[in-house]
Amino acid sequence: EIVLTQSPATLSLSPGERATLSCRASQSVSSYLAWYQQKPGQAPRLLIYDASNRATGIPARFSGSGSGTDFTLTISSLEPEDFAVYYCQQRSNSITFGQGTRLEIK
């Protein structure tokens, strides 16, 4: 099973700041990596698929990069509605999720 490790576990930032979230895979997943945002009581929302493609309706401030084992989700300038939990997910070998990064208001 491919293990995805997200860091940091919690990220404390202010609106307007840049957020950088990391996801590292235990073995190469090529570009088969996605990022989700989840708010309390809601289903996960797909942000980025295939490492760097924004899903339909996702604002341009969200971007994804990386390939192989190291991936990054960047939010260029945080809006109040961006504070949530973020998960990465791979589909290269079976399907697994990272443990999540909580993005909280500083």
CA distances from 15 to 20, 66, 103 (A): 14, 25, 11
Rank residues 17 and 50 by Cβ distance to another protein and give the closer one.
50
Complex with another protein: residue 14 or 94, whichever CB lies closer = 94
The counts of H helices and E strands in the chain are 0, 11
Per CB under 8 A, contacts with another protein among 1-30 are 1
Q: Which stretch binds another protein (CB under 8 A): 9-17, 19-27, 51-59, 70-78?
A: 51-59
The CA-CA-CA angle for residues 15, 5, 105, to 5°, reads 15
By CB under 8 A, the count of residues binding another protein is: 26
Is residue 86 a contact partner of residue 36, using CB atoms and an 8 Å limit?
Answer: yes
Q: Which residues bind another protein (CB under 8 A)?
A: 1, 32-34, 36, 42-46, 49-50, 53, 55-56, 87, 89-91, 94-100
